[in-house]
Amino acid sequence: MSLLTPASEVIQRHLEYFTDRHVIFAGDIQDELAATLEAASVRVLTNQYHRWKSLQPLMGDNALFATTTPAEFIKPCDTLIYFWPKNKQEACFQLDDLCTHLTAGSQIFVVGENRSGVKSAESIMEGIATLQKIDSARRCGLYHGELENPTSFDINRWWRGYQVDNVKVHALPGVFSHTELDIGSDLLLSTLTKPMSGDLLDLACGNGVLAAVIGTQNPEITLTLSDVSASAIDSSIATLAANKLTGKVIASDVYSDIDEKFDWIVSNPPFHDGLNTSYSAVENMILQAPKHLKKGGSIRIVANAFLPYPDMLDKAFGGHELLAKTGKFKVYQATKR
């Protein structure tokens, strides 16, 4: 059993609520509380592949990795425990989906760290469920209410799109660069001045903008895109389709489900896990990159200037190049010799 997050510890203070309930966990799940909760039944919906990989061996088919909730999966449930994410639009999107499939009278629990903005759950759920704060501990708030008016979820209302030159980008809430191109990716794209060929992996692909631009500029290149987020995977598939590009889009926790070797690895890697700063995924990405590159292959990443990636690149590759920089971001490249 992994250590519990503060939000889960708050849930543990109220275990009597769940003993005879059919519970579904959803939202920003960060631990394995669901696998040990004593209830009539427990299911988990997570859009994070690495969370699903830790829960599935413990819960089997009762743990599901998906962007949205299949009606048959949530149908037996009468209680929702929702862990508030740092992205408010992602919370709105997920709760709209979940509250479509739950029946009126279902119990709703929303928990999250105060710094995540969990207090906005009351206003977001207005007209759907009247939430009241029932606990405050570990710098978290726990809200409870009863589902009064189920929603009518339509995913088409949630898609957002924009263009980068002639490339169309599509994204769902919670996906990085959801409504516009971020500054870091823009800087990385500015370094793509020479033709690229061979096999390319867009790691932590988000909405797929990097792969889509590279694929559009280099029609012969073979594209593979991966991310831990189900919403990012769906967004990347939509972005490739909008630009009539072909590519393989897969769920992978860094290289966990990737066996191939590539000529290029490109990434605008995240350095947060939920609300917390975490370099473990990026460190794994960089240090393991030589195993996933062909001889002469290169990794190109963009990062906040203060992050310690040059040392990681030097450790993995014996050196690196600085291709571009601004006051805030730098683009690095390292090549397997």
The ranges assigned to domains in the chain are: 6-155, 159-336
Nearest C-alpha neighbor of 54 from the set 273, 318, 320: 273
Average pLDDT, the chain: 95
Burial readout 191-213 (b: 16 or more C-beta within 10 A, e: otherwise) = ebeeebeebbbbbbbbbbbbbbb
Q: Are 175 and 206 in contact (CB under 8 A)?
A: yes
User: pLDDT, tens digit, for every residue of 9-51?
Assistant: 999 999 999 999 999 999 999 999 999 999 999 999 999 999 9
Sign of CA dihedral 192, 195, 201, 205: positive
What whole-number distance in Å separates Cα of residue 84 and Cα of residue 128? 17
User: pLDDT, tens digit, for every residue of 219-250?
Assistant: 999 999 999 999 999 999 999 999 999 999 99
User: Over 60: is that where the pLDDT of 165 sits?
Assistant: yes
Mean pLDDT across the stretch 85-110? 97
Name the residue with higher pLDDT: 276 or 252: 252
Nearest C-alpha neighbor of 228 from the set 46, 60, 4, 2: 46
Which residues lie closer than 8 Å to 241 by C-beta, 6 or more apart? none
Question: For the domain bounded by 159-336, which CATH number is listed?
Answer: 3.40.50.150
What whole-number distance in Å separates Cα of residue 32 and Cα of residue 3? 8
What whole-number distance in Å separates Cα of residue 226 and Cα of residue 203? 5
What's the predicted TM-score (pTM) here? Answer: 0.95
* Crossing angle between the packed helical segments 230-242 and 209-217, to the nearest 10 degrees: 30
According to CATH, the superfamily of the domain at 6-155 is Vaccinia Virus protein VP39 (3.40.50.150)
Give residue 1's pLDDT band: very low, low, confident or very high (50, 70, 90). Answer: very low
Give residue 273's pLDDT band: very low, low, confident or very high (50, 70, 90). Answer: low
User: Over 80: is that where the pLDDT of 90 sits?
Assistant: yes
What whole-number distance in Å separates Cα of residue 286 and Cα of residue 55? 26
**Same-fold call for 6-155 versus 159-336:** yes
What whole-number distance in Å separates Cα of residue 83 and Cα of residue 103? 20
